[in-house]
Every structure is written in structure tokens, then in C-alpha cells.
Amino acid sequence: MTTTTMTSLLPEAALAFAAVAGLLLGSWLPRRRQWVVRALALAAVAAGLAATAADAAGPAHTAASGSYAVDIGLHAARAAVLVATGLVLLAGSDGLAGDRRETEAYVLLLLAAAGSLVLAGANGLLVLAMGYLLASIPLYAMVAFAKDAPGTEAGLKYFLMGALFSVVLLGGTTVLLAAGGATGYPLLAVGLVEAPRAAAGAGAIAVLAALLFKAGAVPAHFWVPDATEGAPAPVAAFITTVPKIGALVAAYRIGAGLPLEAAGNWSLLVAAAAAATMVLGNLAAFGQDGVRRLLAYSTIGQVGFLLMAVAAYGRAQEALPGLLYYLMAYTVTNIGAFAAVCALPEARRLAQWRGLFGRRPWLALSLVVCLLGLVGTPPTAVFVGKLTVFTAAFDAGMVWLVVLAAVMTVASLFYYLRWILPLFRPAGGDDEADEVAGAALGAAGRWSTAVAVCAAALTLVLGVAAGPVLDWLASGALAG
Amino acid sequence: MLSVVVFLPLLAAGVLIALPRLTPRAVQTTWVAAAGVELVLVGVLWSGYTGGRGSGEGAPGFAGPLAYETDLEWIPSIGSGYHIGVDGLSLPLIAMTAVLFLACAVYSLRARQERPRGYAALFLALQTVSTGLFAALDLLLFFVFFDLSIALMYFVIAGWGHGDPARSALRFFLYTFVGSLALLVGFIGLYLAADPHTFDMVELAGQTPLDGRAVAGGAVLLAIGVGLAVKTPLAPFHTWLPPAHTDAPAAGSAILAGVLLKMGAYGFARIALPILPDAWRAWAPGIAALGAASVLYGALVALAQHDFKRMVAYTSVNHMGYVVLGLGAAGTAAAGTAPQAAQLAVSGAAVQLVSHGLLTGALFLLAGVLHARGGVYDMGAYSGLAGAAPRFAAVLAVAAFGSLGLPGLSGFIAEFQVFTGGLGLAPIPTAFALPGILITAALLLRAMQRLLLGRRRLPPGTAFGDLRPAESAAIVPLLVLSVLIGVLPRTLLDVVAPAAAAVAELVLR
């Protein structure tokens, strides 16, 4: 039992081990040689990916006495989280190399990634709470990593809201334990059948609220724009991507695993959150002039689309592969867009991106592919993700949500185009604006540019090769 | 073979982007060469096309027998495949696309473009997308190409337009993107209604999954109809068209009007009629009326224009109205009746697609010539051009006469069939549409008179040289083809008629 548990938890173990080893190693390394820790972190990511690939074909089972589900949901989350972590580590090399706290940054990122994996695999409320804390606490510190005023403010805001929702999560867990007599989903599912409706409903809502906070969805989204703006760009890429993966898989698991329809209309509740999230995220992005805030609201909007699949869990055959595929697609596409921001950290306003195509055509093209990808233009991966998710929601009878999502997709096009258009505008005319743009577009980070190009290529490849990936995702079911 | 035809231009575009330090001349030569090879390949396709009898793979129950079919799995878990093929409906459009893109490539030799490499690559990519759309036999594949055509054309207008291109391009993108999403919702509806779930058009046409479900069928038809109507464009959904056309570069307008508008109308004939026959028949009178309204509205608004390019843009609304009128009229025939009249109407609509592509392409390229010489499109600024530029005048006259439906040119063949088929089936809308011909004739004649005849007057400080060889070489073949179709309609009708008959049969089953 112990050996099987250990082998099936290899990716998580690799991350945790690399975090601890990296911390020790980093304390003894001189500042300019801390890249060794980065290499170690990347090696851990690679090892995790290899273990995932080896494990992915196996049947769904549970580990650690049934509290951890090793199934298609976890495999897909591992793939997405590890790829995202690797890309963020690479994209962050430009800004972090030689930093006084370079090692700490890598260690915290690895721990947060492990936390997100625990969230995705949790097959019980206690493990879920642990994953939540592990995925949250390192990121509070990472948001305030630069130790400047916006970062500190954002970090404080993120921390306060995170602390509030962790209490809510624990409260919900307690209520569900009292009502259902267990915290593991399989036993809880049995216990909740007889439980009072009010208690089951209240507990489930509290747990959902905490997961919505992690995913950055309405009504717990307030930290997203501030954290995205205040944190260093690679960290912003990380916190808008990786925690979402764990939180959404966890939310799906709860909907699919517990008999919550008896306590109230769970599907409708999630659908309402999805609708509110996509409307708020996409409409609020309209007025943004800063690229980071624009991307922050765009990620909120994307969570709205992703939540559609969580709401459509009744149609598991379409909803689960759709959710997992969309998560992967969103991960590479979003990281690609943020990598462009990492490459040009000085260009914070849309106008400063003017003429990028003339100066750095590859970076500009990658950004265009990623932004159009986020809109859902074929043949990028998010298009297939949206298609499958829309189909699942349509099939689950939520036609209104699909129509709303289609309308919001159109709305999203508008603000993405506000960013795309200046890229192609010739740098000419207004001298002052030119100087500003010239200064901002001066030196692009090489690593982050490479990551942006890779991510753009990945989103295209994933879109065209959607068939095998979706087949793989549809081949498994959730354990437990 | 067909896949080569579809992806060859994209390959050429990739080569253009990848090769460093190409001179503008080399870029343009490559572009023309790629478009030329593409046309030759399409010619080979056409000559080998035997109405599907030879290829042996014809799928009965669909719009005509299919040839050059390829059916590969793409995303099998959602029942979508890379399924392409041609029949009598799509082959003429693919050929027209190849001709028009070659014309645009040749036309672009006339002067040095800004950023020629990106321009050529965008057009080549657009060619792949357009060809692929006409060949697609899978709803998802169709949608992918449909959406990509919008995005690529956006960059053409925004990057190389004049006037206020960013605004026009944005409006174009938003309108047609709304349409494309409505289309997607409709496709998802079809997909879910089918059993087993599939996006394959041929299977769907065999199943007609929504027959007998009036509400669901109507809703899906509405979603698909809105999506296609925005692109066609039908009268209430056309408002993106005039600014997009006016501000696009000449070759961009020609492609937009000649090829991209066809995607909407073609979608009706390829998707709405065969897959939703019940719903189409139920709503056919309304659709025919919308088509007639487009005919009249487009003609009347075009009459009021002083801007030559805007006028041509509105005549597109008018001409595409005939297509929808024909397709709508075909649906008004009673189910199970002899499909002759319906067949005639569909065939007219299909010919109109080709004819309009050729003639409007020519007219927009001529508008580009006008703008290159005088700097404005305002017809009031020019007069007496016939003396200064006799070749320009002659070519413009032929194009205009073709556009107004003069016998001997392709427009006549198309409109005659639409009206003959339509009058028997849907007499009221067809009768209402008839004055459209008259108004179009009046406005085109008036435009010619203002531009070509009278005392010579030009915008100050400009000289009006006659058509240059590159310009003639681009525009004249379009008109020659139009005359060929007008004089020897069988060259085209032999291919179109069986497909039209099949569509008519499908919608009336």
C-alpha cells in the first residue's frame, strides 16, 4: 500500500522534494549561482511530467487510504500545472536571475504548484483544505515579492481575503462533517443523503465559495486585478493560472461526487456564478488601459467559461473532458500572453505596445496568437475548449448560459483587439508617445520571449491535435 | 489532391514569412506564382470532375455526388473530422476563388505595397481559408475557416486600409464575429440533435435530425441564419459592409465582396437547406421576403451614393439578395412536388454566386484604379474619363453592364434563373424584387455617365493614366470569364445543375 501510494504521488513528491532541497541548496549558493536552484526546479517539473506520462495510462484509483484520487482529473491537472510551472520558471528567469531572493521565489512557486495539485486530487474535505492552504500561503508572499507599495498592498489584500475564505472553507468542512458524518467524499456522499438539507447546502456553499476564491471567480474575485498588477509579471502569470486548475477540478469533483442536488440546485448555483463571472470579467476588461489589469479581468472572464463545465457535471461524458481540455488550453494560452508581459515589463499601458510588430515580430505574433486564442479563434486550443464546454452546457439544458457565453465571447474580442491593434500600428506620428513606446519596448527578455513563442506554438499544436488529447481525457473517469 | 489545393497557398505564405530578406519584387512574384499554380491545380480538379461518377466515392443523399473526398478523423470524440470534398455547388466557387485571388495578386504588381511580405502572406492565408471553407464537409471545419476568414480580413483592412481603417475593421470584425458565434451555437444545436452526435455535413444531411421538431428546428435555423446573414449580408445585418469596403484596400475589397460574402450564401445552400429542410420550408416565405427586401434596399441605397466604392458595396447587398431570394423561393415549393422550379431557383442562386464574385471583383479593382489615380472615390470629382482613359472606360462599362444583368454576361444567366424559378414559387417577393433590376440598371448607367462621359474633369493636381498592363491583366480575365458564362452558360451549368437538383430534392423531400 505504501509503495503504491508513493509511486502514484511521484509528481507531488518531486515538487515538494525539489522545494526543500532547493531551499537548502540556495542557502549555500552565492547569489550569481542560484540558477542551480532554477535548474533543480525545472528538473523536478520534468520528472513530474515524466511520472505523469508513465502513470496516465493506468486505471483510476485512490491513494492514501482513499483520500487522494489518482484519476484522469488529477493526471490532466498535473500535466497543466507542471507545464505552467515550467513555463513560468523559464519566463521568470529574465527578471529573477541574480535577485537576492531568487531561490525563495522558485521554492515558493514549487510549493504553490504542489498545493494546486493536492487541490485537484483531493478526495475529501480535509485534504482539500490542506491543498487550499498549501496553494495559498506561498502565493501571499510571492505577490509582495518586489517589496514595493503596489505589491505589498496587493499581497495584503490577497492575504486577507484568502484568510477569510480559508476560515469559510474550514467552517463548511465542519458543517458537512456534522451533517454527513465524514469528510471523505465517498462516505460523505452516503451520509449526506439523510442529512438535513439546510446544513448540507450551507456547507457546500461555503466550500464552493473558497474554491471560487482560488479560481478568481465572482463573488471572490476582488484580489485578482490588484494581485496581477502588483505582483511581478511571472508571479502574475502563475497566480492567474495554476491555482485555477486545482480549484476548478476540485469544484467539479464535489459536484460530481456528492449528492448535492438533493440539498438544492447545485448546477444552477455554479451556473449563476459562471454567468456572473463571465459578465463581470469581460465587461470590466473594457475600460482597462493597463495590460496587466486587462489580462486580470480576462482571466476572470475565462473562469466564467470554465465554470460552465463545472455546472454541466450532469453530462459527465462531455463536461469532464471539456473542462480538463479547456484548462490545459487556457493554461498555455494565458501563460503565453503573460510571457509577453514578462518580456516587456516596462510596457504597462496599451499605448506603449505600439509598433511592437515592427521591432519584435516574433514576440508580437505570439502575443496575437495567444490573445486571439483567448478569444477562442480557431484553430487555437481555447476554441476547441470553448466548443466542448459550450456543447456540454448546451446538452445539460443550459442554453441560456451558452448564449450568454457566446455574447461575452464577442465582448471579449473587443478588448483583446484594443491590445492587438497598436502592435501593428507603425511607430510614427506622435513623437512623445513614440519615445515612451520606444523606451518601454527597448529590451525584451530573451527567456520570456522564447516562452511566449513556445506557448503560442503549443496553443496551436494543442488545438490542431485536439483529437488525441480529448480522446485521452474522455477515456478515463473520476475515481472514488 | 484537394488538400493540396487547400493548403498550397498557406505553404507559400509560410515560405514568404520564413525566408529572410526577400525583395518586394520577389515577394510579389512568389505570390503570383503561388496563385497561378493554385489556379492550374483547380483547373486540373475541374477537368477531372465528372460529377462524381468517376471517383466512385459519391455519397448519395447529399447535395450532388462528391468528388475528391478526404475524410480523416480530427477530433473523433466530438464527432468532427477533416472531411473535405467538392461537388457542383462548391467546385465553381473554388474555381472562382482561385481566379479572383490570382487577379488580386496580379493587380498588386501595379504598385509597391507597404510591407509587401505581410500583405502577400495574409492574402495567401486567406486563399487557403476560403478554398477550405468551400471544400469543407464538416460543420466544425467550416466554422474554423469561417472564423479565420474574419480574423485575416480584419488584419488586411486594419493594416492596409485607408480612411479610418481601424474603426471599419473593428466594426467588420465585431459584426461578423457575432454572426460566427451565432453560427457556432446553431452548429452545436445540430450536433446535439444528431444521433449519433456528429458534425459531419453528409451524415447530418442524411439524418436531418431536427425534422418534425418545429421549435428546435426553427431556433437552430435562426441561429445559423443570423450567422450566415451577417456575412452574406442580408438587409438588416449589412451595416458593417459599406465602411469595411470603403476603407479596405482595393484587392481586399475585391476578396471581401467576391469571396467572403459568398461564404454566407454558400452556407445557406450547403448547410441550412440540406440539413434543416423542414425548418427551411417552414420559414421559406419569410426568407424569400428578406431576400427581396435586400434586393430592393441595396438597390435604393446604392442609388443614393456619390462614392463609387460605396455604391458598388451596396450593389453587393442587392446582388446577394437575389441569391437568398432564390434559395428562399426554392423552399416554398410544396414538399414532394416536382422540383424543377426549385432547381432552377437554386441553380440561379449558385450561378449568381460565381457571377457576382467575378463582376464585383472587377468593379472593386476598378474602384482601386480610380482611387490610385485621383485619390478620391467621389463620382462628382470625375467626369469625361472615356477620353483620357479609353481602356479603363471600356472595362468599366463591361463590368457595369454585367453587374446590371445584361444578356450575354453571367449576371443575366443567374438573375434570369432566379426570377423564372421564383415567380412560379414565390410570386409576391419575386415581383417585389423585380424593380431591383431596374434600379440597379439606372444607378450603374448613371455612374458610368458621370464618370466616363461629359467634359473632362479630374480632382485637382492629378492625371488620369489609362489602365496599366498589370491592372488590365488582373481585371480583363474576370470579365472574359463572365462573358464566357454569359454566352456559353453550359460550361458552368453542366456542373451546377446536378448539384442544384440535388439540393432542391433534399429540401423538398
Structural domain including B325 reads 2-507
Helix orientation angle between A10-28 and A35-56, rounded to the nearest 10 degrees: 170
Q: Is A466's CB within 8 Å of B76's CB?
A: no
Q: Is A391's CB within 8 Å of B191's CB?
A: yes
Instruction: Please name the residue of chain A whose CA is at the shortest distance from the CA of residue B76.
Output: A467
On whether any CB of chain B is under 8 Å from the CB of A56, the answer is: no
pLDDT at B53: 46
pLDDT at B145: 94
On whether any CB of chain B is under 8 Å from the CB of A412, the answer is: no
- Tens digits of residue pLDDT in A163-204: 999 999 999 999 999 998 888 999 999 988 888 888 899 999
CA distances from B84 to B79, B396, B402 (A): 15, 37, 33
- Cell, residue B283: 420559414
How large is the greatest C-alpha to C-alpha distance in chain A, in angstroms?
72
Number of domains in chain B: 1
Q: Is B74's CB within 8 Å of A467's CB?
A: yes
Mutation for A interface: B71, B148, B176, B181, most A CBs within 10 A = B181
- Sequence ranges of the domains in chain A: 2-475
CA-based nearest distance B113→chain A, Å: 15
pLDDT tens, chain B, 509 aa long? 889 999 999 999 998 888 877 888 889 999 999 999 999 999 999 988 876 443 333 444 455 578 888 888 888 888 888 999 998 889 999 999 999 999 999 999 887 777 888 899 999 999 999 999 999 999 999 999 999 999 999 999 988 888 888 889 988 998 998 899 899 999 999 998 888 888 999 888 888 888 888 888 999 999 999 999 999 888 888 889 989 998 999 999 999 999 999 999 999 999 998 899 889 999 999 999 999 999 999 999 999 999 999 999 999 999 999 999 999 998 888 766 667 888 899 999 999 999 999 999 999 999 999 998 888 889 888 988 888 889 999 999 999 999 988 898 999 999 999 999 888 888 899 999 999 999 999 999 999 999 999 888 888 888 888 888 889 999 999 999 999 999 999 889 988 988 888 888 888 87
- Tens digits of residue pLDDT in A260-293: 877 778 899 999 999 999 999 999 998 889 999 9
Instruction: Please name the residue of chain B whose CA is at the shortest distance from the CA of residue A393.
Output: B188
CB < 8 Å from B in window 277-336 of A: 321
Would you list which residues of chain B are within 8 Å, Cβ to Cβ, of chain A? 73-78, 140, 143-144, 147-148, 151, 155, 158-159, 166, 170, 173-174, 177-178, 181-182, 184-185, 188-189, 191-192
Q: Is B78's CB within 8 Å of A414's CB?
A: no
pLDDT at A352: 87
